[in-house]
C-alpha cells in the first residue's frame, strides 16, 4: 500500500515526535508493530470538524501535530469547550461507540488513528497501553478539575490571566525554558475560542485582555503574539498561589 502520508506524519514510530508522551509511550517494539497493523494517519484542515457529537466512532487516536478542541453545545447554541487537545493527547474512549463531544481542528492537524475494535482487543491483552491511558486520563481529570475552579469561581480578569498562564507554562515546558520573568508566546486560540474555554463572551475576553495590557501586565504584537512582562505578576492576577498552583 503506497498511501500518501499527510505532511507532518512520521515515517514510522521510531521517528514519531510524540511517541514518548502518547498512549503508546510504554509499548515495546513488538507492541508497536502490532499497533502499526491497525493504524493510519489522517489530516484535517483548520476549522474542520473531526468528530461530531452523537456520531458513531470507529477509531480512536492521538493528535500528532496541531491543536484541536473538545466542545459541548446546548440546543440554543451556547457552547463550552471541555478539552484542549495538544500533540500527544488521546481522542476517543475505548468501550464507547457514540461520541459525546464535538472534536474540532483549531489549526491544521495530523492524527494517528487506530481502528477501534482491534485497539480495544489489543488493550485487553497488553497492559502497557491501558496503564499509559490510565495515567493520561488521570492527568486530564486533574486538568478538568483545575478548570472547574476557573469556571466556577474566578472573575473574568482572573480567568484570562489563568489561561495565559496555562499557555505560557505549556510553551515553557516545550522549549525547556523556565517560568520566571518575561515570557513570549503565540495564542493558539481566537478570542471566541478563548471565550468558549473560559465561559465568557468574546467581548469580555477582549475587554479583559485590553485591561491587562493597559495595566502593564502584558503587551500584544498583532492579535496573537503575547509578551508577559513578569510571570509572577500574571500568576497574582490569576489568583493562583505564586508557586504555580496547578498540580504538583
Residues contributing to the site for DNA (CB under 7 A): 155-157, 190-192, 199-207, 209-210, 220, 222-224
* Partner from DNA, its own copies, none binding residue 144, C-beta < 5-8 Å depending on class: its own copies
Min CB(76)–its own copies separation in Å: 8
Q: Which is nearer to DNA, 118 or 199 (CB)?
A: 199
Q: Could you list the residues that contact its own copies (CB under 8 A)?
A: 70, 72, 74-76, 78-80, 82-83, 93, 95, 98, 100-101, 127, 130-131, 133-135, 137-138, 140-142, 144-149, 151-153, 198-199, 239, 241, 247-248
CB of 157 to DNA, least distance (A): 6
- Residue 114 beta carbon to DNA: minimum distance, rounded to whole angstroms: 31
Closer CB to DNA, residue 14 or residue 222?
Answer: 222
Helical (H) or strand (E) element with 234: helix 231-238
Give whichever of 83 and 87 is closer to its own copies, judged by the CB atom.
83
Which residue, 83 or 188, has its beta carbon nearer to DNA? 188
- HSE, CB side, 13 Å, CA atoms: give it for residue 174: 13
Shortest approach of its own copies to residue 101 CB, angstroms? 7
> 222 is in the binding site of which of DNA, its own copies, none (Cβ under 5 to 8 A by kind)?
DNA
Across the chain, the runs of DSSP E, i.e. the strands, are 39-44, 49-51, 59-65, 68-73, 79-85, 90-91, 102-105, 109-115, 183-186, 218-221, 225-228
Nearest approach in angstroms of CB 91 to its own copies is 13
Residue reference for cell 478548570: 147
Using CA atoms, how far apart are residues 115 and 121, in angstroms rounded to an integer?
Answer: 10
Distance CA 204, CA 38 (A): 45
The item of DNA, its own copies, none sharing an interface with residue 83, based on CB under 5 to 8 Å by kind, is its own copies
Nearer to DNA, 95 or 152 (CB): 152
Q: Give the residue from 18, 68, 24, 245 showing the smallest Cα distance to 142.
A: 245
Tell me whether residue 43 or residue 204 sits nearer to DNA (CB atom): 204
What are the φ/ψ torsions at residue 151 (nearest 5 degrees)?
Answer: -70, -40
What strands, in cross-sheet order, belong to the sheet with 225-228?
183-186, 225-228, 218-221
- CA distances, 110 to each of 9, 66, 74 (Å): 7, 7, 28
Choose the one of DNA, its own copies, none that binds residue 207, judging by a C-beta under 5 to 8 angstroms depending on kind.
Answer: DNA
3-state secondary structure 51-79: ECCCCECCEEEEEEECCEEEEEECCCCCE
Amino acid at each position: 500500500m503506497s498511501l500518501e502520508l499527510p505532511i507532518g506524519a512520521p515515517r514510522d514510530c521510531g521517528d514519531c515526535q510524540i511517541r514518548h508522551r502518547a498512549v503508546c509511550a510504554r509499548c515495546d517494539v513488538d507492541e508497536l508493530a502490532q499497533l502499526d497493523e491497525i493504524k493510519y494517519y489522517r489530516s484535517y484542515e483548520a476549522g474542520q470538524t473531526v468528530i461530531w457529537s452523537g456520531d458513531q466512532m470507529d477509531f480512536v487516536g492521538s493528535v500528532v501535530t496541531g491543536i484541536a478542541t473538545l466542545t459541548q453545545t446546548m440546543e440554543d447554541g451556547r457552547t463550552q469547550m471541555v478539552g484542549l487537545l495538544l500533540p500527544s493527547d488521546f481522542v476517543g474512549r475505548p468501550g464507547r461507540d457514540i461520541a459525546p463531544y464535538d472534536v474540532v481542528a483549531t489549526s491544521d492537524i495530523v492524527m494517528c488513528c487506530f481502528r477501534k475494535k482491534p485497539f480495544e482487543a489489543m488493550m485487553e491483552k497488553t497492559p502497557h497501553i491501558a496503564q499509559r491511558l490510565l495515567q493520561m486520563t488521570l492527568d486530564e481529570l486533574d486538568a478538568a478539575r483545575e478548570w472547574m475552579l476557573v469556571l466556577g469561581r474566578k472573575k473574568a480578569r482572573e480567568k484570562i490571566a489563568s489561561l495565559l498562564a496555562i499557555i505560557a507554562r505549556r510553551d515553557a515546558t516545550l522549549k525547556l525554558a523556565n517560568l520566571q520573568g518575561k515570557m513570549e508566546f503565540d495564542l493558539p486560540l481566537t478570542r471566541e475560542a478563548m471565550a468558549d474555554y473560559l465561559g465568557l463572551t468574546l467581548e469580555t475576553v477582549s475587554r479583559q485582555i485590553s485591561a491587562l495590557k493597559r495595566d502593564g501586565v502584558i503587551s500584544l504584537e498583532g492579535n496573537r503574539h503575547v509578551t508577559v512582562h513578569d510571570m509572577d505578576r500574571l500568576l497574582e492576577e490569576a489568583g493562583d498561589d505564586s508557586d504555580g498552583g496547578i498540580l504538583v
